[in-house]
Amino acid sequence: MTEHLVRLTVNGVAREGHAEARMHLADFLRQRLGLTGTHIGCEHGVCGACTVLVDGATARACLMFAVQANGHAVQTIEGVATQTGLHPLQVALSRHHGLQCGYCTPGVVMTLMELQHERAGQQITESDVRTALSGNLCRCTGYQGMVEAALEVINGK
């Protein structure tokens, strides 16, 4: 099978690798670039574990082909924390027990980062957070801790 050169910016760094036309972005990130924080769950775009940001918008990396990301900016969970520490959403999720096994956590964080960016400077409600998280399945936490963490960080409380 023919492989294509995929050039993209991942977590602010120019990266490239070869991918078959049918290779999903999640597999490309994990297998070609060694970024294993993007989890693969259902492979149907339902669970949200593979959620990444592509040009600032959430995308299911299990549904997007790597070649479609060519020339775009991708942010994965590995690019969320800084040298000075975890992102405030990550800290709040821990403090509010919004994570347990951690499998859904990368997708949840990326989803909440998009919500934070989209609603910057605006107050959000519990309903806003629950709607945003409706595409992220978690079997451990019951979501309340996730909601409380998002409200705290995005509303600045």
Question: Is residue 122 exposed (0-12), middle (13-18) or buried (19+ Cβ within 10 Å)?
Answer: exposed
pLDDT tens-digit map of 104-153: 999 999 999 999 999 999 999 999 999 999 999 999 987 999 999 999 99
CATH topology of domain 88-154: DNA polymerase; domain 1 (1.10.150)
The CATH classification of domain 3-79, taken from the options 3.10.20.30, 1.10.10.10, 3.90.1580.10, 3.20.10.10: 3.10.20.30
CA 74 – CA 60 distance, rounded (Å): 12
pLDDT tens-digit map of 9-60: 999 999 999 999 999 999 999 999 999 999 999 999 999 999 999 999 999 9
Report CA torsion sign: 126, 144, 48, 5.
positive
Q: Domain ranges in the chain?
A: 3-79, 88-154
Residue 157 pLDDT grade (very low, low, confident, very high; cuts 50, 70, 90)? confident
